[in-house]
Amino acid sequence: MKKSVLLLLAVLLLLFAFASCKSTGTEESAPVSGDSESSAPASVSDEEPSQSSGWKDEFKYATDEFAGKVIKIFTVSTDRHTYAEVQFAPVDEENVPDTVNNAVRERNDYIYDNYGVTIVTRAAKYPSEFLLTEIGGDQADYDLVCESVDRMVAHIPDKLFLPLDDYFDFSDPWWDARCMENLSIDGDKHYFVSGDCMLTDTDHIYLTLYNKNMYNDNADLVGTYGDLYQLVRDNKFTLDNYIEMCKAVSVPDENGEYGINATFGNLSHSYGANIMVNGCGVSMVEKSADGLRCTVVDDYPQTVFDKVYQLMSNKVITQRAELIIGKAPEGHNSTYGFAELEYMFTSGKGLFYNTTVNSISILKNQDLGFTVGILPICHLSETDNEYYCAVNRYQSSVIGIPVSNSENIEAAAFVLNALGYYNVNLPSNVKNAYYELTLKLQASDSEDDFDMLDLIFRSRFYDLGSILPVDRLAGMYGVVINYSSNTLTSYYESYQGEIEQKLTSFYEDYVNSLS
């Protein structure tokens, strides 16, 4: 796909991200049961959707084999993600823009008119809360499930989802093959897909926002590091350089204190330690010939964490959300400190801000008094040829086919392939609708930011260590950065038996589920 199209697609996703979650950069998850059968088939128009006369449909899986089929997708409800339902079928919701609804309707009408397949949705705030009862109890009436990655992966050993390898060609350009490989338990079978067929897999990718004015006004920084976008392109956006830039701008408040009114190089949170480690391509859990193994005390992960500890434990250059809970002015406080952290950045108190994609549109529409730039998460050294941007495990979604779908497996696979292709290739397509809205909101400021977003979306990274249901593991880095010295090895060793037992148990349950 042409680079210009990739850039457009990257930007347009931001509007969806803006509405998908009311607070920015959060890691907390607060399940609330709720289920609604609120969707309906797209209306079928009397005429073919209006398409460019020069456009040629080259969908490689075109067939009338599934004519008359109705494919139901059980997805997250609009009150959790504004675009969770409308990414699959039109909805009657005030906060869903007409342009998006119309694009989805036109896409679904096109699929119906050409292939005879109707797409509908069922929605719940947390679909995973219904899966064991409904799929296991033969009560499920849906063909596909879309839910956050942590909740989906946890259900793999429960035999709720079909392996997808026989139904998809993961080399098709609309699939995120790297994501699916990250999430495979054994490197052989793949239960979930991510890519252009959906929108809710990209809104909570971690990135780095930066205060362009603060950087450009610092002659020493500019003289040493030059243009930050070029620094990224030259693979020089490294942890060492990041730390030095943070040191250069950090100053106490008028009372000599490093609190909410001080200026910091790095605005982050305890889970930010994981994000920075992931940014160097390190996963806390890796696949091995014998199952799953923890990498925390391996040589390279230890080298990476040594650097991350220098950054994240230093309360002079890094301010963390959990340290400023309730300390912002009225109206800017929150349970976990994320609103306070956002307040600091919007008040010009941070050079770098570790947050998620959905923050961009929110911040870009505030009267900040400075310009925001977009960068990936930094990596370890100049010899690294890639960047790695982890996802928020509680928000980024994947799609699977439930085992209860015995009659419509091929039809469901056809629909996902069709969504992946037509979301990008129809002249009046869903992603262009998001792009149009994002332009109106000025969610990105320069061609450089478009380039960075393209890079960030191509650098999406899933860490099984953060996603699997293994206590003590995901929060380990965040605990150690609170200590006066790097005690990672001893801390890990104190829980090593427990962690290894849970990894072994999960893998054994997975292997047993294959029989």
pLDDT in tens, 235-256: 999 999 999 999 999 999 999 9
CATH fold for the domain made of 206-390+467-513: D-Maltodextrin-Binding Protein; domain 2 (3.40.190)
- The pLDDT-based confidence of 179 (bands split at 50, 70, 90) is confident
Write down the pLDDT at residue 360.
80
Report the C-alpha gap between 114 and 101 in whole angstroms.
20
- The pLDDT-based confidence of 217 (bands split at 50, 70, 90) is very high
Return the amino acid letter for 420: G
Report the C-alpha gap between 47 and 429 in whole angstroms.
17
Write down the pLDDT at residue 403.
96
Residue 80: exposed, middle, or buried by beta-carbon count in 10 A (0-12, 13-18, 19+)? buried
State pTM to two decimals. Answer: 0.85
pLDDT at 460 over 60: yes
To 5 degrees, how large is the angle CA 86–CA 90–CA 92? 95
Angle between helices 430-441 and 3-20 (to 10 degrees): 70
Torsion sign, CA atoms 130, 131, 132, 133:
positive
pLDDT at 322 over 90: yes
User: Where along the chain do the CATH 3.40.190.10 domains lie?
Assistant: 61-203+394-443, 206-390+467-513
To 5 degrees, how large is the angle CA 160–CA 161–CA 166? 155
Candidate from 338-352, 366-380, 441-455 with smallest mean pLDDT: 441-455
Task: State the CATH architecture for 61-203+394-443.
Answer: 3-Layer(aba) Sandwich (3.40)
To 5 degrees, how large is the angle CA 185–CA 180–CA 500? 25
Return the amino acid letter for 248: A
Write down the pLDDT at residue 453.
84
Instruction: Say which residue, 203 or 226, is predicted with more confidence.
Output: 226
Are the CB atoms for 401 and 163 separated by under 8 Å?
A: no
Angle between helices 98-115 and 430-441 (to 10 degrees): 170
Alpha helices, H only, 315-398: 338-346, 359-364
H/E/C letters for each residue in 244-310? HHHHHHCECCCCCCCCCCCEEEEEECCCHHHHHHHCCCCCCEEEECCEEEECCCCHHHHHHHHHHHH
Q: What is the pLDDT of residues 30-78, one digit of tens each?
A: 333 345 554 444 433 334 444 555 789 999 999 999 999 999 999 999 8
Place of tokens 């992603």: 431
Q: Which two tokens stand for residue 49?
A: 């959707």
Close Cβ partners of 237 (under 8 Å, ≥ 6 residues apart): 228, 231, 375, 376, 378, 379, 387
Average pLDDT over residues 479-483: 98
DSSP letter string, 469-492: S-TTTTTHHHHHTTSSS--HHHHH
Candidate from 183-187, 216-220, 358-362, 369-373 with smallest mean pLDDT: 358-362
Are the CB atoms for 453 and 374 separated by under 8 Å?
A: yes
